[in-house]
Every structure is written in C-alpha cells, then in structure tokens.
Amino acid sequence: MFNKTIYKIAAFLLFFPFQMMAAVDSDFLRSTGKIYSVVVVIAILFIGIVISLVRLERRIKEMEKSDINE
Amino acid sequence: MDILKNHWYKILAVLLILYVLIVGMITPLKTGITNVAPDRFMAGQGLKISVTGYNSHYQSSDDYQAWIKFDSTHHVAANNMQVIDENHIEFTFGIPDDLPFDSDYGYASLILNSEMDGPSVLPDKLYFEKSTSKASGFNWSKEAIKLDPSDKGFKFPYRNILNETIRNTFFHVAIWFAMFFLMILSLIHSIFYLSNNKFVQDIKASSYADIAIIFGLIGLATGSVWAKYTWGTWWTADVKLNMTAIAMLIYCAYWVLRGSIPDVDNKARISAVYNIFAFAMLIPLIFVIPRMTDSLHPGNGGNPALGGEDLDNRLRAIFYPAIIGYSMLGYWIASLNIRVKKLRDKLFL
C-alpha cells in the first residue's frame, strides 16, 4: 500500500529510543517503569480520537457526494 | 497516490504527534542532584555532605569529583569521596575562612562531575555563613573546574524545580504555538471577508477561531496543571497568566458576539471586525506586557526563556515537530467544521 520507506522511517523512530534505554539503569526505570503504561494509554486515546476524525471525514465526504442538500 | 495528495497533512499530523508522545515520554533525563544534607555550613571548617542524585551512577563510575562554587573565581574541590550506592554519595570539603564577599552569608552551588554521567549542578542551595574562628588552614582550589561534555546521548536536561515535568514543553507550549498559527489563519480570512464579502471566508474565519480558542483553553488548563506540580498552586496572580486569561476572555467574547446576532451578514461583518481587534489585543497582552515586568512564568521579565540550557537541541528535536503536528491537527479539525458548515449554509454561499 504505502511505500516501504515510510515503514522503515516509522520503525526507526519507534525503536531508536529503546537502544538508548539499554544503557540506562534500572534505577531510572523505577520512575519510568510505569511510564510505558502511561505512554500506551495516551497513545490509545490519541488513536481513538484520530479514528473518530477519520470516520467523520468519511461521512462528510459521503454527504458532499450525494445530491440531497444534507 | 491520491490519498497523499489531498490528505498528506493529516497523516503527517498523526505521525508527528505519535512521535512526540512516544519519544518525548520515554527519553530519560540527564543526571541531576535532588538533595544535599546538610545544606548549611560555616566557613573555615570541614564539611561532610551527603548527596542524593537522580539518574546517577555513583557506584558504576569511579571518577566522581565535586566542587562547591562560590563565584566565578572561588571554588573548593572535595578532599574525600565515599560512595554509598548508585544514588547516594558523600563528599568531604574544607572550606576556607576568607570568603570573598562583603556580607556574612550567601548561597553556593554544588557541582558534581563524572565521565559516565556528565556534570550535574545544584545551583545556589548551600547556605554558608562566615565564622568567627580564623586560621583553618583550608585553601581555595587553584585548578579550574573541568567538566565532561554534557551532551552525550539523547537525554533531556535536568532542572531542579521541573524534574520530569520538563516534558510538558511538548504539550503545553506547543499547543500555544498551534493556537497562534490558527489565529493568524482566522485573521487572514476575516480580512478577506471584509475585502471581498464572500460568505465562505466568514465560515473559514469562524471555524479556525473556534479551534484556536479551544487550543487556548487547553493551553491554560495544561499550564495550570503544570503550575500545580512546580509552583504548588493551580493559579497565581502573575502577569503572564492574567494577561493570557484576558486574551482568552476576549476571544470567548467572539463566540458570544457571533451567537447574539441573528442576521447572517451582520454577524459575519461585525465578527470579522471583532476578530481583527481581538488579534491585535493578543500581541501586547501575551507577548509585550509580561516581558516588561517581573513574572514567574518562563520567558518573561526576570526569567530566561526556555533557552540556553533549558531548551537544548534534544528538546527542540521533539518540540518543533510537536508544533507542526498540533497545527496540522487543528487545521484538520477546522477543515472538517468548514465542510459541514458549507453543506449546511449552501443557500448563502
């Protein structure tokens, strides 16, 4: 579907910080061990908002295409 | 790729915001000093302090050095070091009794350095007093303070009051910038409406202003939460905060104005004029007046902006994409509103 380069760029961006994490102590993870759950939760919320926007966009496109005035 | 041609900015917005979210929250902070005990001493005596660090590797690095710095030419290096664990270390100093200041007391800074962790600073927290005893035999250090470079690895700066909340820069500050971008768009379309009287310009102006005002209220709310955890209060009588609240009230009055005029053409013209006035008030209220007087908020009178060491290049690598991402997201939501309004007000177009 999309070009492979987009997947490569996304994978690089997503996996880049994990290489840094390997060098960091577990002491820091005590404060950020739970940060992953926070990140996942906020990412889910954001993706939910994006999905609702995409559905809204599709419905508006349908309305624009139909000849009935809304 | 038809999708990319029409919807490129939406995909870019989603990707950028996800990148900001993930990298911004996962990246660790640099080493910092959270606590020093005891934090008062008298000149002319030996001093043993116990230091607590954050993200520190006191045990793993074997070359930790410490200095107490009084000013640019007077500092004392530690005589002795004892590591307790990765986050606790003790240093022994001998403070000379000929302090170079006229007053009898002041504040000194503690500087730590190692090759693994880089430098860490606790600025102006060690309270010292001149003592009456003389001839302690301690001397100032002749060697200059040599610090390892502080920009190894991808880490965010450590600031004692902010700690981890420095990550709020990508959310709170970026939202204000995105609001500004949308308000400029709204202003442009208001001016277009006044010059060529096309109703679609009024639809666009009001839609961009709607999303911009929502972003502004989000900015106020996120700033309030940030203030609670750093300043200790949800709101304070500070110039920047008050002026920004006034600017947002002026823009909320734009909503009231639009809701109160039933005639469509009148509504469009009067709200376009008001939009120009509201934007013209935004600039002095948010940018000019807070910089003319003392303020607690970073970037205004008496406070350095998030620049220098505070907004370093690592923060910028996430901060600038965040601004672009939120601006595009706001533009997308506003464009959806515009399309709905165009369908609904087809008669007037």
Q: Which residues of B touch A56 (CB under 8 A)?
A: 336
Strands (E), chain B: 32-37, 40-42, 46-54, 65-71, 74-77, 80-85, 88-94, 105-114, 118-129
pTM of structure:
0.84
Q: 10 Å Cβ neighbour count for A64?
A: 12
Q: Which residues of B touch A39 (CB under 8 A)?
A: 21-22, 25-26
Segment B165-190, tens digit of pLDDT: 888 889 999 999 999 999 999 999 99
pLDDT in tens, B194-250: 999 999 999 999 999 999 999 999 999 999 999 998 889 999 999 999 999 999 999
Taking the CA of residue A27 and the nearest CA in chain B, the distance in Å comes to 7
> How far does A57 lie from chain B, in Å, by closest CA?
7
Residues B61-108 pLDDT 10s = 888 889 988 888 888 888 889 998 888 999 998 888 877 777 788 888
Pairing of β B118-129 and β B40-42 = parallel
* B118-129/B74-77 β-pairing: unpaired
Asked if B346 and A20 come within 8 Å (Cβ–Cβ), the reply is no
| Peptide bond preceding B38 in cis form (omega within 30 of 0) | yes
Helices (H) and strands (E) in chain B, counts: 6, 9
Nearest chain A residue to B22 by CA: give it. A39
| pLDDT at res. A29 | 42
Across the interface, of A18, A39, A46, the residue whose CB is closest to B25 is A39
- Candidate from B19, B27, B153 with C-beta closest to A13: B19
Pairwise CB contact (< 8 Å): A70 & B346: yes
Distance (Å, whole) CA B77 – CA B139:
10
Lowest mean pLDDT among B193-202, B299-308, B333-342: B299-308
Query: Is a pLDDT exceeding 70 seen at residue A69?
Result: no
For residue A67, with 0-12 CB atoms within 10 Å meaning exposed, 13-18 middle and 19 or more buried, which class applies? exposed
Residue B53: DSSP 8-state: E
Which residues of chain A neighbour B18 with C-beta distances below 8 Å? 43, 46-47
Distance CA B163, CA B29 (A): 8
B22/A43 touch (CB, cutoff 8 Å), yes or no: yes
% of chain A at pLDDT higher than 70 = 47
Q: Identify the DSSP state of B29.
A: B
Spatial contact of B77 and B143, defined as CB atoms under 8 Å apart? yes
**Interface contact B28-A24, CB threshold 8 A:** yes
Nearest chain B Cα distance for residue A17, angstroms: 7
Let me know if A70 is exposed, middle or buried by CB neighbors in 10 A (0-12, 13-18, 19+). exposed
Axis-axis angle for helices B172-196, B264-282 (nearest 10): 130
